[in-house]
Amino acid sequence: MKEEFEDQRLVASGIKREESAAENALRPKSLSEFIGQERVRQQIDVLLTAARRRKSPSDHILLSGPPGLGKTTLALILATEMETPIRITSGPAITHAGDLASILASLMEGEILFVDEIHRLPRPAEELLYLAMEDFRVDVVVGKGPGATAIPLQLPHFTLVGATTRAGLLPSPLRDRFGFTAHLDFYTEGEIAQVIVRSAALLALSIHSSAIGEIASRSRGTPRIANRLLRRVRDYAQVRGADHLTHDDARAALEMYEVDELGLDRLDRAVLLALVERFNGGPVGLSTLAIAVGEETETVESVAEPFLVRNGFMARTPRGRVATSQGWRHVGFEPPTSTYTQNPTIFDSPASDA
């Protein structure tokens, strides 16, 4: 039994590495290759050009926005444009201030430190980061109790690039120390189509324009999702022996992978169906809803809920989550006449979890 579990773990790990390698291969390598986010690209271009002319590191940069829009890609592009190394870590990986101090002390002059999910840094590490970002030094505490002393350690000038999906969770002292903050928005369907065309070319795929439109319309305005769906459509076509991806291939593949015409996947539909069938449209608490669909509360809140709320399928109310009239109809039910389904926008305050 143990050997079987180990084999499954190794297979899953291999699949994850393969998916990660595929995503990295499709990443743009320069600002000129980066599609979408026009205003942010212009702002970063000015920032980097000025830094290069001064021959100094760029100001610290904060990238915020929903997952999959290119924050990590932009951080890697920054290093390429500045011709400097980049060190990559994440907030959850830093468990105490000593971890961050070790990373900062090993940086080279001009190097970029990229911290993904920076809003999840522990508080002691945040406080250490304040001084490092502003004065390029950290105070290393030696000893304990009354005899403890702080030894200042000078750091090389570096650029901190932070990425967050929840900028509101960053404390003001940390947020204010970034010289430039960029917010990435969801892509238009046309921009997603450009991303798919570029990715198809890199994957040496022949694809019909109608298939591109079909994938783009189900990608939630997110390049990461678009690239993932493109690879699944490619797999489906290759198994069928097709050399050219058609509209029928795209539609059949996406239906098989349970991605509907508006981009809802299995979890999204499960949440909507639970709301409608088990709780008569709500209101229902988040934890109760998560139990009903067999998922963790955080998964429902961070993965399914943002898309459903943004597209008007579900609303957050003071009493809990409710299905809107659009949500009822999307899963094949006629909504009852109620205040929630008729005018859900008036209930947009944070929902309780009762």
The residues with which 14 forms a beta bridge, in sequence order, are none
The active-site residue out of 224, 228, 234, 316 is 224
Quote the distance between the C-alpha of residue 106 and its chain's center.
28
Catalytic residue among 27, 71, 220, 234: 71
Distance in angstroms (rounded) separating the CA atoms of residues 224 and 23: 8
Residue that is written with structure tokens 């390049």 in the block: 223
Instruction: Give catalytic status of residue 165 as yes or no.
Output: yes
**Catalytic residue chosen out of the listed positions 73, 159, 164, 165:** 165
Active site annotation includes 228: no
Q: Which of 27, 116, 218, 222 is catalytic?
A: 116
**16 catalytically annotated:** no
* Residues classed as catalytic: 71-72, 116, 165, 224
